[in-house]
Structure 1
Amino acid sequence: MTFARLVLAAASNDTLPDPQSWSLPPRPTALAIAQYYMTNIYSLYPAFSETSLYSVLDQAYMTQDRYIKDHDYWLVYMVLAIGSMAQSQTSQDEHYANGLHFVAEALQYADGALMPGHVAQIRSLILLTQYSMLDPAHFDSWHLIGFTCRAVIDLGLHQDPPPRANA
């Protein structure tokens, strides 16, 4: 059992739709959702660089010569899921359904994105926690907050950097 499977088993509530029949939306739609995320959520919780998001989005829409890591796919799909879910007014609307599909797609890359010992794990956990706060029916945000805090402490990111020696 991987760390990602442990996190998802502990924090999952309801099942998500099958990700096999869903992919990235048209590029203008994805850019609009990403911009909504950047304007309304990223400005409060910046967990990655804006440049990296748009760079990965560009690579995802390239038809050839693309090599995207699992944690980068996770970034794109989770930003799309959070951006869609944040625009949702009810669990019956199109934004909610899109958010569910995007998060289901992202979960295919969970093992690579939530791999312990990497800073990308923190970013991935923060994104999953943000999503869980918008969709508590599918994920338990308190468990995810706990996993995220433990990962930050394990990597030592909670400490101030050591003072520089004057050389």
Structure 2
Amino acid sequence: MDKTPTIFISYNPKSEEEQTLAVRLHSIGAVSGFKVFLPDRYNSDKSLDFETKNRIDESDFFIIFPTMSLSKIVQEEIDYAFKRFKDKSKILVIDDQLRGIKIKKSHLFTKISFNSETESIDEATRKVLEIIKSIESSKSTVNGFLALLGIGLGLFILSEIFKEK
């Protein structure tokens, strides 16, 4: 039996939209048999704390769906995750090109951009699939991980469509 990947889902502390998405994915992942961690924002939303480091240490992947520039603490989490994983393909920053977010230190992670107005969820998921396939050999692991990411992309795109402009 293949090991189900453990996932750390981060979010910017000042983004309610990102936090809501992260918490929803945490809940969906948990009921679907995934071990999903969120950062410990209760004890620290300004600097990387011990508990958040432990959660990253126990994870196989780091994911964020940013809706704004990455905060200092999220950048610290990515730095820490890269030191731990030593593999930028296990750190996924999935963003909507329409937001025009400038993200620094792109050598530490894999950025997957999509356009919520012109790309379907399937097209965006296919981009993620190619990256996951390149690092995971187990088909069941890939399929389970993609299912969770597909839900995340769907929720992210829906929030883009229905947000007030």
- TM-score bracket, normalised by the shorter chain, equals 0.3 to 0.5
Does 1 or 2 have the higher relative contact order (CA < 8 Å, sep 6+)? 1
Larger Rg over CA atoms: 1
